[in-house]
Amino acid sequence: MSNYICARPIHPGEILKEEIEYRGISQNRLAEQMGMPYKMLNNILNEHRPLTPTTALLFEAALGIPSDMLIGLQTDYNMRVVKQDKSLIKRLDQIRKMVAVL
């Protein structure tokens, strides 16, 4: 059995947005229930802002989605995005070559 890896990084906001749409919850109502500014919630759901441990806990309280899973998705997203940075890839290759000589 092979592990499937999506071709693009998936931000947890994408999954959360689909979930609240499926449940029929408005972003305004959810933001109010979570005590979060609407703009902050909307930026997370539209992948313009990262999920933090605090916001993950707020989503867990409001939607019952485990915060650890949400933070894991955010970490995976962050790592996949940074690993696509060509200048960083080049820098890492240079470091690995230097260290291999030591």
- For the chain, which residues make up each domain, given as ranges? 12-101
CA distance 24 to 44: 18
The answer to whether the beta carbons of residues 51 and 70 sit under 8 Å apart is yes
Q: Which of 37, 19, 16 is nearest to 28 (CA)?
A: 37
The answer to whether the beta carbons of residues 19 and 63 sit under 8 Å apart is yes
The answer to whether the beta carbons of residues 20 and 27 sit under 8 Å apart is yes
Rg (the chain; Cα; Å) = 18
Q: Against a cut of 0.85, is the pTM above it?
A: no
Per-residue pLDDT tens digits for 38-73: 999 999 999 999 999 999 999 999 999 999 999 999
Band of residue 2 on the pLDDT scale cut at 50, 70, 90: low
Instruction: For domain 12-101, give the fold.
Output: 434 Repressor (Amino-terminal Domain) (1.10.260)
